[in-house]
Structure 1
Amino acid sequence: MNVSPQGFYKWLNRDESTRDIENRRILGCIEAIYAQHDGNYGSPRISAELKANGERINHKRVERLMREAGIVGKAGRIYRRRPLPGNPCIKVENLQREHGMPSKPDSQWAGDVTYLKINGQWQYLAVIIDLYSRKVLGWELSDTRTVELTLSALNKAVRRKNIESDLIFHSDRGSEYGAYAYQNRLKELGIEPSMNRPGFMNDNVYVESFFQTLKTESFKGFNFESVEELRTNLAWYLDRYYNFKRRHGSLGFKSPDEYERMAA
């Protein structure tokens, strides 16, 4: 390709195009959103945030600008725990699988426990989420994996919401949920229990997916010095950020609280 010296220097000293100026402005917005969410957002959520802020922009353009700038959202993997042996006398079916995904808030809740290691010591986190909105309704942290842990998370969720008569609660078959104390509490509240099919760990995949998100966004790259520091971080992430600010892909990139209010 033959290019004259005059043509080359004209190209080198050309004025920045309107498109270049706009790309630079958009990239500044992308960087601000990325920083605001601690690097958790990839291009789909950043695109949704830009559109919510009034920007008319194609997601492919956002993806390209991020790629060219080396901006990458955090990614993680699913951590599965092995449930403690449950109560063989408790006979509970998988009602969640039978009913499918809920069509309104507070018709199906799900709970699970995950492990977090702080200074060489295990801490256990129990959560309850609404499967309709993915909202975290109750959570508890403890250094022991017992029915008291899961009951505390349940009671916090109950204090937060009005229980309807057709509410289903789904969990794995571990002893933290199969214990008589837990099953009796569900009965007192008029909540119908539902459990994984024996040997089917993926039956509670929505809570497992939530734990993956939590560990990727709230723990990756962080070193907590104490349990209190961990608890403070969880309170911020679960009660303020995840429920009210974080955009969820399966909710049309709405936050759980926004999606729940849309159903009212």
Structure 2
Amino acid sequence: MIYPFIRKHRFQYGVEKLCTVMQVSRSGFYKWLVRTPSPREIERKKRKKRIRDVFFLSKKRYGSPRITAVLKAEGMKISSKTVARLMKEMKLKSCMARKYKATTNSNHSMPVHENTLNRKFKVLAPNKVWVTDITYIRTREGWLYLASVMDLFSRKIVGWSTGARMTQELVLDALDMAYKQQKPDPGLLHHSDRGSQYACSEYQKRLAKYKMVGSMSRKGNCYDNSCIESFHSTLKKELVYVTTFKTREQAQKELYTYIEFDYNRSRIHSTLGNKSPHQFEQLYFENLLA
């Protein structure tokens, strides 16, 4: 630890003064300076470089557990504790989560569905269960609202829509996108909260048109729709809280990149065996064909 410190500050304070203060010999420092690195040091340097690469490739979003998973998938033998220690040495810190408020309003007199999903979040095939919710993004022009539809099997966002107001058109556009892209078979279970946007007649007619079965969370119970809320929380801490959006248009472009590429295709999920939603779906279809 002493010699690297002297090397770093030698031009500022001088080698002689630093060696005197640190109580080491100049000859010892110069021998260390030209010596060949040990295999252990070479390996440590290699690990730190790869950790840094993965950290910045994830846009500073991965903490030590996910970086460890990536390194192990590459064949490196390393523990999460070691990764955390090396990240601390390099002052690499992932984005921090913040709390956010609810958006939809369940104080209405419209009919609601029973909670058919009932927290059965493990699904065995794509396009069997979708969950949906709304969140908000701050821009300098005002709020931008995001409606998202998630396939519970792979945690993939199959449909999404943005708008300046939290209307029924916002959630209908997200549902339409999901249906057109995925073309699910009749009987898909569609779960949402009890918000008026989802309980309104237009949205219920669309579910009937697509032959989907409705399910809604119990009143005031956020855990019933925790998977899609977890996605919105992740989106907030990894994108929204670290970006200043000047316009709604800028936010829409950033959301497109994050959802379609970063989240769906690249970001690994511990619940998916440290695979991205795209990789998880590909593996499913490959096994199905086999």
TM-score after normalising by structure 1: 0.91
List alignment gaps of at least 5 residues for structure 2. 1-23, 286-290
The AA in structure 1 aligned to 2:221 is F
The AA in structure 2 aligned to 1:252 is G
Q: For residues 153-179 of structure 1, what are the alpha-carbon distances to aligned partners after superposition, in whole Å with 9 as ceiling and x for unaligned?
A: 000000110212331111110011000
The AA in structure 1 aligned to 2:37 is E
Q: How many residues align?
A: 260
Correspondence 1:124 to 2:160: no
List alignment gaps of at least 5 residues for structure 1. none
Which aligned pairs between 1:53-92 and structure 2 lie closer than 5 A?
53-85=74-106, 87-92=108-113
Q: For residues 116-156 of structure 1, what are the alpha-carbon distances to aligned partners after superposition, in whole Å with 9 as ceiling and x for unaligned?
A: 12115111100001111110101111011111000000000
The answer as to whether partners of 2:121 and 2:152 remain within 8 angstroms in 1 is: no
CA distance in 2 between counterparts of 1:239 and 1:86 reads: 33
The answer as to whether partners of 1:78 and 1:211 remain within 8 angstroms in 2 is: no
CA distance in 1 between counterparts of 2:261 and 2:80 reads: 27
CA distance in 1 between counterparts of 2:244 and 2:121 reads: 39
Q: For residues 29-85 of structure 1, what are the alpha-carbon distances to aligned partners after superposition, in whole Å with 9 as ceiling and x for unaligned?
A: 111111111100111111122233343333332222112222111120342314224
Q: Determine helix, strand or coil for the equivalent of 1:92.
A: coil
Larger Rg: 2
**Displacement over 4 Å in runs of 4+:** none
Correspondence 1:177 to 2:198: yes
Correspondence 1:163 to 2:174: no
CA distance in 1 between counterparts of 2:248 and 2:110 reads: 36
- Residue 31 of structure 1 corresponds to which residue in structure 2? 52
- Residue 236 of structure 1 corresponds to which residue in structure 2? 257
What is the Cα deviation at residue 15 of structure 1? 5.0
Correspondence 1:250 to 2:250: no
Computed over aligned residues only, the root mean square deviation of the Cα atoms, in angstroms, reads 2.2
The AA in structure 1 aligned to 2:214 is P
- Residue 71 of structure 2 corresponds to which residue in structure 1? 50
Greater CA deviation, 237-246 or 88-97?
88-97
The answer as to whether partners of 2:103 and 2:136 remain within 8 angstroms in 1 is: no
The answer as to whether partners of 2:141 and 2:246 remain within 8 angstroms in 1 is: no
CA distance in 1 between counterparts of 2:253 and 2:236 reads: 15
The AA in structure 1 aligned to 2:53 is A
Greater CA deviation, 147-156 or 45-54?
45-54
Correspondence 1:142 to 2:163: yes
The change in CA–CA distance for 1:202 and 1:239 in structure 2 (over 3 A counts) is same
CA distance in 2 between counterparts of 1:80 and 1:164 reads: 34
Q: For residues 200-230 of structure 1, what are the alpha-carbon distances to aligned partners after superposition, in whole Å with 9 as ceiling and x for unaligned?
A: 1221111111111001111222111111111
CA distance in 2 between counterparts of 1:110 and 1:75 reads: 25
The change in CA–CA distance for 1:166 and 1:223 in structure 2 (over 3 A counts) is same
The AA in structure 1 aligned to 2:129 is Q
- Residue 104 of structure 1 corresponds to which residue in structure 2? 125
- Residue 259 of structure 1 corresponds to which residue in structure 2? 280
Q: Determine helix, strand or coil for the equivalent of 1:181.
A: helix
Q: Determine helix, strand or coil for the equivalent of 1:223.
A: coil
What is the Cα deviation at residue 23 of structure 1? 0.7
The change in CA–CA distance for 1:99 and 1:71 in structure 2 (over 3 A counts) is closer
Instruction: Quote the sequence identity (%).
Output: 35
Correspondence 1:212 to 2:242: no
- Residue 288 of structure 2 corresponds to which residue in structure 1? none
